[in-house]
């Protein structure tokens, strides 16, 4: 472990927590929070979720409700004013969130208040994982990809992969298939719309027709960890990469998305034997 490196990441998250607490009544952009953390938006939300143990959106809700509970105890301000000062769009939205969090309406809480434990960056309760990580250097990689915008399921992504596959088959390009890749561009954080690219590395090939597009994955240094088994395990492996490996590595994530390399064809490989490599881009030393 490199304590100074770990502390540097923790101090970044503390800066973000302080920024959140000071701007609860304002729209909170993921890009702005990443800027406060001095980190690429591609990685900030993953690091926060892995190290804090909840999403940025969940932390914002927690801080806003904590602020509102304090105002209900300490002032006679109207509930609507308190809701707006805590960043809620309406008193109704505030009341629903407050009841879900503490089991009572804001008015009921004001009549019989209790202290809320102050929120802090307590860290994830997940146990540290011992994961194998190798460092590699790759050249830029072009994939023919199908873009998925909006919420998606595993079956949606399976359909998306069929689009470049069918095109490559029609064009006689499958013999040149060098890899199957997935790029989770972002996640549904705050006002973000999730985007996922499902693509194939086909080597040199003609430009594909819409809705397919060519996407270039940056070359450079990457930290790579392998998941064997169901694709369900990918999220846990990603969290371990950010929580347990990155802060102690002495490395910084690059301003590019991570990506998945699906080594095996899921239609020809038993689920327990599926291999997926997760590539985390790193800034050069």
Same domain? For 39 and 139 the reply is: no
**β-strands 275-282, 179-184 pairing:** unpaired
- Rounded to the nearest 5 degrees, what angle is found at the Cα of 162, between the Cα atoms of 160 and 163? 70
pLDDT value of residue 127: 60
Residues 280, 122: Cα–Cα separation, whole Å = 25
Same domain, 157 and 243: yes
Angle between helices 56-74 and 41-52 (to 10 degrees): 60
Nearest to 213 by CA among 142, 140, 138, 141: 142
Residues 75 and 147 in one domain: no
In the numeric block, which tokens belong to residue 215? 């996407």
CATH number of the domain that 13 lies in? Answer: 1.10.10.60
Q: Are 7 and 52 in a shared domain? A: yes
Asked whether residue 275 falls in the same domain as residue 169, the answer is: yes
Residue ranges with strand state E in 99-219? 134-138, 141-149, 179-184, 195-201, 212-217
For residues 152 and 276, membership in a common domain is answered with yes
Q: Is residue 151 domain-shared with residue 224, that is, in the same domain? A: yes
- pLDDT tens by residue, the chain, 285 residues: 444 566 789 899 999 999 998 998 888 888 899 999 999 999 999 999 999 988 888 898 889 999 999 999 999 999 999 999 888 989 999 999 999 988 889 999 999 888 777 676 766 666 666 799 999 999 999 999 999 998 888 899 999 999 999 999 999 999 999 999 999 998 766 556 889 999 999 998 889 999 999 999 999 999 999 999 999 999 999 999 999 999 999 999 999 999 999 999 888 999 999 999 999 999 999
Q: Which tens digit of pLDDT belongs to each residue from 270-279?
A: 999 999 999 9
In a domain? residue 125: no
Same domain, 88 and 154: no
What is the per-residue pLDDT for 134?
97
Q: How many domains does the chain have?
A: 2
Contact partners, residue 243, CB within 8 Å, separation at least 6 = 47, 50, 51, 124, 126, 128, 129
Residue 118 lies in a domain: no
Residues 13, 83: one domain?
A: yes
Question: What domain range is 262 assigned to?
Answer: 134-282
Say if 80 falls within a structural domain.
yes
Domain membership of residue 126 (yes or no) is no
Asked whether residue 93 falls in the same domain as residue 149, the answer is no
Residues 6 or more apart whose Cβ sits within 8 Å of residue 113: 69, 72, 73
């Amino acid at each position: 472990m490199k304590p100074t490196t770990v502390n540097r990441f923790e101090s970044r998250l503390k800066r973000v927590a302080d920024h959140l607490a000071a701007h609860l009544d304002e729209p909170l952009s993921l890009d702005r929070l990443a800027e406060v953390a001095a980190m690429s938006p591609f990685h900030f939300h993953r690091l926060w979720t892995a190290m804090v143990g909840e999403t940025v959106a969940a932390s914002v809700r927690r801080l806003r409700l904590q602020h509102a509970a304090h105002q209900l105890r300490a002032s006679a301000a109207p509930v609507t004013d308190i809701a707006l000062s805590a960043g809620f769009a309406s008193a109704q939205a505030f009341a629903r969130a407050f009841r879900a969090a503490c089991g009572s309406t804001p008015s009921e809480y004001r009549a019989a208040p209790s202290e809320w434990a102050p929120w802090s960056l307590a860290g994830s309760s997940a146990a540290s994982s011992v994961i194998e990580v190798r460092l590699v250097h790759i050249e830029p990689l072009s994939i023919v990809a199908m873009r998925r915008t909006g919420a998606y399921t595993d079956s949606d992504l399976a359909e998306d992969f069929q689009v470049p596959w069918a095109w490559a088959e029609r064009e006689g390009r499958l013999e040149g298939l060098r890899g199957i890749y997935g790029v989770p561009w972002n996640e549904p954080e705050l006002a973000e719309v999730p985007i996922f690219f499902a693509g194939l590395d086909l080597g040199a090939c003609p430009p594909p027709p819409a809705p397919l597009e060519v996407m270039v994955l940056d070359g450079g240094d990457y930290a790579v960890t392998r998941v064997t088994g169901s694709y369900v395990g990918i999220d846990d492996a990603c969290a371990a990469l950010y929580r347990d490996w990155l802060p102690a590595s002495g490395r910084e994530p690059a301003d590019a998305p991570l990506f998945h390399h699906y080594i095996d064809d899921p239609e020809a490989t038993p689920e327990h034997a599926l291999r997926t490599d997760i590539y985390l881009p790193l800034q050069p030393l």
